A and B are shown apart, each in its own frame.
Chain A
Amino acid sequence: MTAPRPAATGAYPETEVDDALAQTQTPVAGRSDEARGAWRGLLVQPVLVLAGVLAFVVWRSTAELADTEQRQLGWSVLGRSIVEHLELTLLAAAIVLLIGIPLGILLTRGPFRRATPLVLGVANTGQAAPAIGLFVLLATWLGFGFRSAVVALVLYTVLPVLRNTMVGLQGVDARLVEAGRGMGMSALAVLLRVELPLAVPVILAGVRTALVLLVGTATLATFISGGGLGQLITTGINLSLDSLLFSGAVLVALLALAIDWLGRVVEHVARPKGL
């Protein structure tokens, strides 16, 4: 037998033969670093919010207040305003989710796609209309109070959830959908096991936007007797009591920041692994 003659070189650098063996080291280390960084970022916001709450409580306990101010800023009155505000926000949010996500799913399915421009148009109008105008118009139609406030809030904030649901679903690689159908998954199974999980990050970002919008906009509910922290602010303006105005504004801001943070935590936890 003649010798084999590798003409150029017989040198042997050090790596592996088969691509099945190559790349055995995972990028997992890099990922957990990333994850740790993200968690650290998530810690800043609650610290700020807590500091704000603490500062408010200290100020409220030590400041010298006039009678009217005392009454409005009494702990029980304050507590009720906050609870009302949260009720408005959370009820509206629940309704927004119940409408926005299923509608967004529906509008990305076969024949319903044609209705997309129409529905997005209506939702866009809802958001483009000045919020205060929406509140007042609805109040003259449905009557003053909590119910109208919730309806107005829903109309005003359904758009981000609806749009992000649609964008998230449309952003799923069409080849993956086809791969799913091609292996015998039903359309519903592809939606539940492939499309929605992959769209979750985008959908949740929309939900968080809606929540923050809701907390802020719920201050307008007071104009149609819907309650909430807006009362403090309007009373403060009407009676020129800066402490009331200031308290209302700070509390709404803290609430919005807290809810935004909760949203971020949920987004972080619910993000599908492997992306």
Chain B
Amino acid sequence: MSDTIAAATGDTVEQPAGTERQVSGVSIRLEGVTKSYPGQGKPAVDAVDLDIPAGQMVMFVGPSGCGKTTLLKMLNRLVEPTSGKIFLGDEDVTGQDADQLRRRIGYVIQAGGLFPHMTVATNIGLVPGMLKWDRKRIAARVDELLELVGLDPEVYRDRYPRELSGGQQQRVGVARALAADPPVLLMDEPFGAVDPITRQRLQDELLRIQEELGKTIVFVTHDFDEAVKLGDRIVVFDVGARVVQYDTPEAILADPAEEYVADFVGAGATLKQLTLTRVGDVELLSPQLARVGEDAAEVVRRASAAGEKYVVVTDRKGRPISWPSLAELSRVATVPDTVDEKLPVVGLRSTLNDALDTMLAASQGGVVVTGRDDVAGVMVVETVMAAIQRTRDEVEG
């Protein structure tokens, strides 16, 4: 009991992985996994030993051609290992029927890899179909998953992939991988083909989903910032999939094992620290809120009384849609339902880096921070600056 209270009153947003989180994943263990191709001198993957704890998100990073993708594909045996053993939980899966094995492992690739001639629902229902679920159960599961990845089932169920944006396709790709509730999820540079703002949102969504589900996720990326943001742990690979360092993002940033890692992490490690701090970790400001349809004069009075110059307008579900000034509001009778596409929004799990990016992209000095379905607060550029200054002082001091 006292444990849960401590966790609840403590810093709940940035929990150390695996303590309070629900875990539905299983551990993965690699023993001397090797892949060599005939006619090539050195093996592409050379005797890798790796332990991936259940329920964690582990990031594979490294230069292209280092074998990280090959190693990932050996986990679901799209690439057959030349030698070595792979365990899921305590089960040696190296000799198992590959098709059966893959139905227990979700697989997400760039742009979702959706089949263009099948609707969203058919795409998502493929694996449950192979597992002989009945139709009703599949349909219910499809809707549940669409909700989970933030797409309205009524709207998207019967669409074809080409009728979706890149970000939406990627969401469906994640939903499809989760369809049969596999304990393990493999993601091969899934967010590589979408624009930075969409990527950041997809990352936030993945973190939220992972918090809910606690799968074991192996995620290949070449973007170190992405690795720091998403990973409970990061594996840095060199050629031949040599594991150079396997540790938490904090530890890798603070103490790179080799010069190679330091180079890969890149200069400006101070700024990288921005990637370690979540928006939910810093103090947010409480803005004045206004609902669509409220009396504008009343809102203006309330906000001026509180000494505010801007108001965050939310829709009927409590999601922020615009951020007008009092001057703008005083020109209208009721709070308008106009949706500001450029409204800078980040989630609590976003990093300060994301927040700064979002501000710059929107040319604004602040961002609205959303909680699960509401406005958690507002963050301004000065907060980011203060965080940078703090880390700089820490480094120097």
Contacts and interface: CB of A to CB of B under 8 A. Distances in A.
Interface of A: 1-20, 22-24, 26-28, 175-176, 178-186, 189, 193-194, 197-198, 272-275
A20 B107 CA distance: 22
Contacts, number: 167
A183 B102 contact: yes
Contacts of A3: 306-310
Among A4, A19, A28, A274, the most chain B Cβ lie within 10 Å of the Cβ of A4
Contacts of A9: 363-364
A6 B366 contact: yes
Interface in B54-80: 76, 78
Given A14-B338, A273-B160, A20 B307 contact: no
Contact of A4 (B103, B117, B167, B287): B287
22 contacts: A1-B285, A3-B306, A3-B308, A4-B285, A5-B309, A8-B364, A10-B325, A10-B328, A11-B328, A12-B336, A12-B339, A14-B340, A19-B168, A20-B168, A22-B165, A27-B162, A175-B110, A176-B116, A178-B78, A182-B102, A183-B107, A273-B117
Contact of B151 (A20, A26, A197): A20
Interface in B130-165: 130, 150-151, 155, 159-165
A45 to B, nearest CB: 27
A114 B348 CA distance: 55
Interface string B315-328: 00001111111001
B176 A183 contact: yes
Contact of B126 (A2, A27, A185): A185
Contacts of B198: 19
Contacts of B93: none
A274 B121 CA distance: 13
A24 B310 CA distance: 29
A102 to B, nearest CB: 22
Interface in B115-135: 115-119, 126-127, 130
Given A1-B286, A9-B364, A23-B168, A185 B99 contact: yes
A19 B181 CA distance: 25
Contacts of B116: 176, 198, 272, 274-275
B342 interface: yes
Nearest to B378: A4
Contacts of A175: 109-110, 113
A20 B164 CA distance: 9
A198 B339 contact: no
Nearest to A6: B364
A26 B381 CA distance: 37
B130 to A, nearest CB: 6
Given A15-B339, A17-B341, A18-B201, A2 B364 contact: no
Contacts of B109: 175, 178-179, 182
Contact of B113 (A18, A176, A273): A176
B103 A184 contact: yes
Contact of A198 (B117, B155, B378): B117
Looking at chain A's contact residues, is the secondary structure mostly helix, strand, loop, or mixed? loop
A2 B287 CA distance: 9
Among A6, A11, A273, the most chain B Cβ lie within 10 Å of the Cβ of A6
Nearest to A194: B115
A274 B127 contact: no
B177 interface: yes
Contacts of A14: 338-341
B340 A182 contact: no
Contacts of A12: 313, 321-324, 328, 336, 338-340, 343
B163 A28 contact: yes
B266 interface: no
Contacts of A11: 324, 328, 340
B365 interface: yes
B100 interface: yes
Given A7-B366, A182-B109, A185-B126, A13 B102 contact: no
Contacts of B213: none
A179 B107 contact: yes
Contact of A184 (B118, B127, B345): B127
A182 B328 contact: no
Among A1, A18, A274, A275, the most chain B Cβ lie within 10 Å of the Cβ of A274
B113 to A, nearest CB: 3
